Chain A
Amino acid sequence: MDKFSYINATSLEQVTSLLSESGWGEVMLIAGGTDLLGELKEYVETPKTLINLKTLPGMDGITADASGLKIGALATIDDIARHPTIQHHYTVLAQAAASVATPQIRNVGTLGGNLCQRPRCWYYRDETINCLKKGGDVCYAVDGLSKYHAILGGDPVYIVHPSDLAPALIALGASLKIVGPEGEKTLSLEEFFTLPATNPFRENVLEPNEIVVEVTVPQAKPNTKSFYLKAREKGAPDFALASVAGVFEMDGKTCKTASIVLGGVAPAPWRSKEAEAALTGMMINESVSQKAGADAVQDAQPLNDNAYKVTLTQNLISRAAMMAAS
Chain B
Amino acid sequence: MASWGEASESRLIGKRINRLSGKDKVTGKAKYTFDINRPGMLYGRILRSEVAHATVMGVDTSEAEALPGVKAVIPLIEIGNKLRYQGQEIAAVAAETDDIAKDAIRLIHVDLEELPHVVTEADAMAEGAPQIREDWAGNQSEPNIREDGDLEAGFAEAAVEVEATYSTAVQTHVCLETHGHVVEWEDEQNLTVWASTQGVFGVRNDFAQHFELPANQVRVITEHMGGGFGSKFGPGIEGRAAAELSRITGKAVKLMLTRKSEHLVAGNRPSMTQNVRAGATRDGRLIAYDMKGHGTGGISSGAGFQAPYVYHVPNLRTERVNVAVNAGNQRAMRAPGHPQASFAMDSLMDELAEKLGMNPLEFRRINDANEVRQAQYTLGAQEIGWHRRNSVPGSGTGVKKRGIGVGSGLWGGGGGRGTEARVTINADGTVEAVTGTQDIGTGVRTVIAIIVAEELGLNTTDIMVKVGDSGPGLPSGGSGGSQTTPSVAPVIKTAAAAAKQKLFERIAPMLEAPIDDLRVGTGTIYVVSDRTKTITWEQATGQLGMESISEGGHWDEELRQNGAAGTQFAEVEVDTETGAVRAIKIVAVQDCGLAINRLTTESQINGGVIMGLGQALLEERFMDPYTGRMLNANLEDYKVPGTLEIPEIKSIVFDTHRRVTGVGEPPCIPTPGAIANAVYNAIGVRIRELPITPDRVLTALAEKKA
Contact = CB atoms under 8 A, between A and B. Distances in A.
B622 interface: yes
Nearest to A127: B50
A93 interface: no
B694 A231 contact: yes
Contacts of B698: 308, 311-312
B639 A128 contact: no
Contacts of B696: 308
B686 interface: no
B624 interface: yes
B49 to A, nearest CB: 10
Given A122-B632, A140-B626, A319 B577 contact: yes
A79 to B, nearest CB: 23
The 7 closest A-B pairs by CB, nearest first: A235-B644, A315-B577, A308-B695, A122-B631, A308-B698, A128-B50, A231-B578
Interface string A267-306: 0000000000000000000000000000000000000011
Nearest to A309: B695
B627 interface: yes
B1 interface: no
B636 interface: yes
A241 interface: yes
A315 B400 CA distance: 13
Nearest to A315: B577
B639 A238 contact: yes
A305 B625 CA distance: 14
A306 B695 contact: yes
Interface in B40-81: 50
A211 to B, nearest CB: 27
A236 B641 CA distance: 9
B622 A145 contact: yes
Q: How extensive is the interface on chain A, given as a class?
A: 20 to 34
Contacts of A233: 580, 618, 639, 693-694
Nearest to A236: B644
Given A129-B629, A234-B618, A308-B695, A315 B50 contact: no
A84 interface: no
Contacts of B644: 234-236
B546 interface: no
A227 interface: no
A147 B695 contact: yes
12 contacts: A2-B103, A126-B629, A129-B627, A143-B626, A233-B694, A235-B645, A241-B694, A241-B695, A308-B699, A312-B579, A312-B694, A315-B577
Contacts of A307: 699
Nearest to A311: B698
A144 B626 contact: yes
B580 A231 contact: yes
B637 interface: yes
A128 B87 CA distance: 13
Interface in A225-261: 231, 233-238, 241
B510 interface: no
Interface in B579-634: 579-580, 618, 622, 624-627, 629, 631-632
A295 B579 CA distance: 21
A193 interface: no
Nearest to B693: A233
A144 B624 contact: yes
A322 to B, nearest CB: 10
A134 interface: no
A90 interface: no
Contacts of A158: none
Interface string A118-156: 001011001011000000000010011101100000000
Given A231-B578, A231-B580, A308-B579, A122 B637 contact: yes
